[in-house]
Amino acid sequence: MHAEIVVLPGDGIGPEVTAAAVEVLRAVGYRYGHTFSFDTQLIGGAAIDATGEALPAATLAAAKRADAILLGAVGGPKWSDPKAPVRPEQGLLAIRKALGLYANLRPVTPHPAALGASPIKPHLLTGVDLVVVRELTGGIYFGDKTRDGDSASDLCRYSVTEIERVVRRAAALARSRRGRLTSVDKANVLETSRLWRETATRIVAEEFPDIQLEHQLVDSMAMHLLSRPREYDVIVTENMFGDILTDEASMLAGSLGLLPSASLGDTDGSGRIMGLYEPIHGSAPDIAGRGVANPYATILSAALLLRHSLGLADEAECVEKAVAAALDAGVFTADIAGSGGGVGSRQATDAVIEQLQ
Ligand code: ATP
Ligand code: MG
């Protein structure tokens, strides 16, 4: 097949890690006979410097035309003045909104060779393979905000439609995995959570009767995620709960440098899913330009791109296995190796590409 991929390197280590992922995509494309073309565009601080805007119109137009988008990271001290008229992060929020990317997927599969990098006891982590699906464009982060003297409020609102579409996406994912879906809410207290629970129950009963659905309150979820993470397959939840639980879940894998993400929108007429793929880590200005960033999270994000937007499941698995083999072989960057050891981004990328040939 032929696919057009827009690459948004962004700031800090973004350009380094996206370059590594593009090399891997070329290698896996070559192996399976696909041609991928890459169109690099500006976003974040780099875009502000060049155009004054965090999401230039040319970038959004290219993203809308593309089959998928690969992003590095945005932001850094250069653009962090709170009084600045535009901030890099606005570029990311704007592109998610403009493309309707409402479902944020974060797989967490701690690798056996890297368990030591996690603060959680290794015996709890063996066999963990879960995905958190976070609703990304609704809820309290987007509701009306008010300030009245010495009181303030944030409105949390969800519509049935917003809940249905993210639950459908998560249930379909569960169906393609181990068939278990955990819906997380606070239905004992919040009205939005009661609507969430009713809607999730109905959608699964009507459209996914083969899926096993369980409901869990967010406070107990926070506990169980660390005490028995192996029991979970797909976890679906609203925006703010998902924000908190995904950061918690990242600790299961040890390093931020190992965790990919996908932000998905609706399927278009041709069955294609609009998606933006990026590592969960930030721009890491402290290590930018030194060739030491861990490229695995972005390479694994490229694997998600192959699977979800291009429908290339075998190719995605091939990339995931190549990263696992590199980790098995002990090819660790400094964030995993610890105590000043580890290889550079170049050697880590080469180790993955070698597995693909
Ligand atoms: P943001 O606000 O953009 O999310 P952050 O403050 O959460 O950023 P990151 O940029 O993610 O921070 O970096 C947090 C720490 O993790 C830093 O010390 C950084 O160097 C390290 N780090 C992040 N990503 C990587 C990576 N790919 N490889 C190695 N170290 C990394
Ligand atoms: Mg962060």
Mean pLDDT of the chain: 95
Q: What pLDDT is recorded for position 33? A: 97
User: CA–CA separation, 290 vs 286, rounded Å?
Assistant: 9
321 given a catalytic annotation: no
Task: Flag whether pLDDT at 286 surpasses 90.
Answer: yes
Amino acid at 47: A
Identify the three-state secondary structure at position 313. Answer: helix
User: CA–CA separation, 179 vs 211, rounded Å?
Assistant: 5
Instruction: Report which bound ligand comes closest to the CA of 298.
Output: 1
Q: What pLDDT is recorded for position 267? A: 82
Which residue's entry shows tokens 């896996």?
28
| Residue 105 pLDDT class (50, 70, 90 cuts) | very high
Full-model pTM: 0.94
Task: Flag whether pLDDT at 269 surpasses 80.
Answer: no
Q: Is the CB of 286 under 6 A from ligand 1?
A: yes
Which residue's entry shows tokens 């169980």?
224
Q: Which of 154, 210, 247, 314 is catalytic?
A: 247
247 given a catalytic annotation: yes
CA distances from 69 to 32, 61, 66 (A): 20, 12, 7
Q: Is the CB of 281 under 6 A from ligand 1?
A: yes
Question: pLDDT per residue over 25-74, tens digit each?
Answer: 999 999 999 999 999 999 999 999 999 999 999 999 999 999 999 999 99
Q: Which helix (H) or strand (E) holds 50?
A: helix 44-51
The complex scores an ipTM of 0.94
Task: Flag whether pLDDT at 193 surpasses 80.
Answer: yes
Q: Is the CB of 293 under 6 A from ligand 1?
A: yes
CA distances from 172 to 177, 179, 246 (A): 9, 9, 20
User: How big is the chain by its Cα radius of gyration, in Å?
Assistant: 20
Q: Is the CB of 71 under 6 A from ligand 1?
A: no
Question: pLDDT per residue over 5-26, tens digit each?
Answer: 999 999 999 999 999 999 999 9
Q: Which of 141, 233, 266, 321 is catalytic?
A: 141
Q: What pLDDT is recorded for position 357? A: 87
Beta bridge partners of 133: 105, 236
CA 296 to chain centre: 13
User: CA–CA separation, 292 vs 279, rounded Å?
Assistant: 16
Q: Is the CB of residue 78 less than 8 Å from the CB of residue 1?
A: no
Atom of ligand 1 nearest to the CA of 74: 3
Q: Which of 284, 262, 282 has its CA nearest to residue 273?
A: 262
